[in-house]
Amino acid sequence: MTTLADPVPGGRPGDPERAAERAAELSAAGVSGVALSWVDTAGIGRVKTVPVAALARAATWGVGMSPVFDTFLADDSIVATDVLGGPDGDLRLFPDLDHLVPLAGQPGWAWAPVDRITQDGAPHPACTRTLLRRAVAAAAEEGLSFRAAVEVEFALGLAGDRHPDFAPACLGPAYGMTRLVEQSDFGADLLRALAAQQVEVDQLHPEYATGQYEVSVAAADPVAAADRSVLVRETVRAVAQRHGLRASFAPAVLAGGVGNGGHLHLSAWRDGSNLHAGGNGPLGMTADAAGFVAGIVEQLPALAALLTPSPSSYLRMQPSHWAGVYAVWGHENREAAVRVVTGMLGDRDRAANLEVKCVDLAANPYLALAGVIAAGLDGLRRRPEPGPPVSGDPAALDEAERHRRGIRRLPRTLPEAVDAFAASSLLRDALGDVLADAVVAVRRGEHARVQRLSPEAITEAYRWVY
Ligand code: GLU
Ligand code: MG
């Protein structure tokens, strides 16, 4: 199956002309370069840039890049699968002009997410954006669509030689007005930059952990939501730098503390109606939405390899830290991996959705969304029983009671997550062999790198990379 959005050699109809027009606009606005951005299997944002004058050529013929990055680790060492990780071959990066924006936090630059295709014009099997785009297009053929958003939590630290480790940029209490005052100019500049980039922000607030803040944005189609989560992160990073600050998006910023989540909000819709509201099932869910939730909960241990993919992730995944370490669902329960959000009376047909809480920002957002949607769609079709919702903190129950109620703890380590993933034929089918093998190789490689390190050393190794 090809879709109208798939890039083709020579450019999709109209793209070369559109790219030339956009380049002229960008030049007139003082933009010199365009960052062509994508996220690798390890969750690292990678980039190549072209001068504005070369944008039309990039949108027509793509820009070269080695496929080796699909098996890069977060420290830039390389692992291999049977087809990835070698020095051979080249791919073309195609900027998506619909998502091209001038970067308000980096004057002189614009940004566009890319799809990657081979020199023969075929989709690259490890391109996670293409994977998600195609999964969404296939669901649309059945009348199904999705709305998604990724919450971005980050810890703000002081930059500079005097602060090689993490030195929090604010000292006030969680959700404290003091924190907003302490970083008043940064916060206002961040909102200004996001608005200038047409990112519709829902909220910006001080979070719980030391130095932590959060940006949440409006829901969009899943590909746009994943693009936006990358753009929001890069904007936070750039604005922070202009204020002498730096932002950590790592799952664990300080060993033993509450971490950064990247909670994923998602709703499934059929023919324009939200399946999570107005139904006869629990919490007003339709039978489709209940199946969707059940499918996700069932696959959560295997999904951990996509949602919590870093050794740092497992320092965050502690009970009673609101990270959602139990594979259960609950109504507005922040200790459940799937929190069902019903929304405000009167607004439920628009607002009802589910929040996958166990996700962090080491996750490649395209891969995370593709995996969760595949699991949900499987549930929507098979309609397994979602089981009763769980309220309260499962950690407060004793082990025997959790066992009696079928409350499973999500993987406690990265190897456990990889084993669960390797046993899921559903996720392998959804990702395809090339990408599924890359996930396994990269996660095993990441674990091998740090297995003898202390939690403090693991925290340090990943603090600034995501
Ligand atoms: N920081 C928490 C986490 O690690 C989440 C806090 C919240 O519920 O917003 O996911
Ligand atoms: Mg939060």
- What confidence tens digit (pLDDT) does each residue in 102-129 have? 999 999 999 999 999 999 999 999 999 9
Q: What is the pLDDT of residue 155?
A: 98
State whether the beta carbon of 316 lies less than 6 angstroms from ligand 1: yes
Structural domain spans, the chain = 15-124, 144-462
Q: What is the pTM (predicted TM-score) of this model?
A: 0.98
For the segment 228-237, the average pLDDT, to the nearest whole number, is: 98
State whether the beta carbon of 262 lies less than 6 angstroms from ligand 1: no
Answer yes or no: is pLDDT of 164 > 90: no
State whether the beta carbon of 334 lies less than 6 angstroms from ligand 1: yes
Query: Atom 6, ligand 1: which residue's CA is nearest?
Result: 322
Ligand 1 atom closest to Cα of residue 209: 1
Q: How far is the CA of 51 from the centre of ligand 2 (A)?
A: 37
For the segment 74-88, the average pLDDT, to the nearest whole number, is: 95
Ligand 1 atom closest to Cα of residue 358: 10
Pocket test for ligand 1, best of 154, 321, 358 (most atoms within 8 A of CB): 321
| Ligand that comes closest to the CA of residue 324 | 1
Query: Atom 7, ligand 1: which residue's CA is nearest?
Result: 322
Ligand 1 atom closest to Cα of residue 334: 8
The per-residue pLDDT for range 345-363, each reduced to its tens digit, is: 999 999 999 999 999 999 9
Closest CA to 67 of 95, 101, 40, 44: 40
Least reliable range by pLDDT among 81-90, 173-182, 427-436: 81-90
The per-residue pLDDT for range 401-418, each reduced to its tens digit, is: 999 999 999 999 999 999
Q: What is the pLDDT of residue 2?
A: 72
Q: How far apart are CA 131 and CA 144, in angstroms?
A: 17
Q: What is the pLDDT of residue 161?
A: 85
State whether the beta carbon of 261 lies less than 6 angstroms from ligand 1: yes
For the segment 258-284, the average pLDDT, to the nearest whole number, is: 97
Ligand 1 atom closest to Cα of residue 316: 4
Q: How far is the CA of 215 from the centre of ligand 2 (A)?
A: 8
Q: How far is the CA of 26 from the centre of ligand 2 (A)?
A: 35
Give the pLDDT band of residue 11 (cuts 50, 70, 90). Answer: very high
The per-residue pLDDT for range 45-56, each reduced to its tens digit, is: 999 999 999 999
Answer yes or no: is pLDDT of 1 > 70: no
How many Cα atoms within 13 Å fall on the side-chain side of residue 277?
18
State whether the beta carbon of 323 lies less than 6 angstroms from ligand 1: yes
Sign of the Cα torsion 189, 108, 463, 41 reads: positive
Q: How far is the CA of 153 from the centre of ligand 2 (A)?
A: 6
Render 364-423 in DSSP notation, one character per residue. Answer: -HHHHHHHHHHHHHHHHHH---------S-GGGS-HHHHHHTT-PBPPSSHHHHHHHHHT
The per-residue pLDDT for range 177-202, each reduced to its tens digit, is: 999 999 999 999 999 999 999 999 99
Q: How far is the CA of 260 from the centre of ligand 1 (A)?
A: 6
Superfamily of 15-124 according to CATH = Glutamine synthetase, N-terminal domain (3.10.20.70)
For the segment 288-314, the average pLDDT, to the nearest whole number, is: 98
Overall fold of domain 144-462:
Creatine Kinase; Chain A, domain 2 (3.30.590)
How many Cα atoms within 13 Å fall on the side-chain side of residue 13?
1
The per-residue pLDDT for range 271-280, each reduced to its tens digit, is: 999 999 999 9
Ligand 1 atom closest to Cα of residue 214: 9
State whether the beta carbon of 94 lies less than 6 angstroms from ligand 1: no
Q: What is the pLDDT of residue 4?
A: 83
Pocket test for ligand 1, best of 150, 151, 152, 153 (most atoms within 8 A of CB): 153
For the segment 62-78, the average pLDDT, to the nearest whole number, is: 96
| Ligand that comes closest to the CA of residue 206 | 2
Token pair for 245: 């600050």
Answer yes or no: is pLDDT of 442 > 90: yes
Q: How far apart are CA 383 and CA 366, in angstroms?
A: 25
How many Cα atoms within 13 Å fall on the side-chain side of residue 226?
30
Q: What is the pLDDT of residue 37?
A: 97
Q: Which long-range contacts (CB under 8 A, 24 or more apart) does 444-452 make?
A: 444/79, 444/415, 444/418, 445/71, 445/73, 445/77, 445/79, 446/42, 446/73, 446/74, 446/309, 446/310, 446/311, 446/414, 447/311, 447/413, 447/414, 447/415, 447/418, 449/73, 449/75, 449/77, 449/311, 450/311
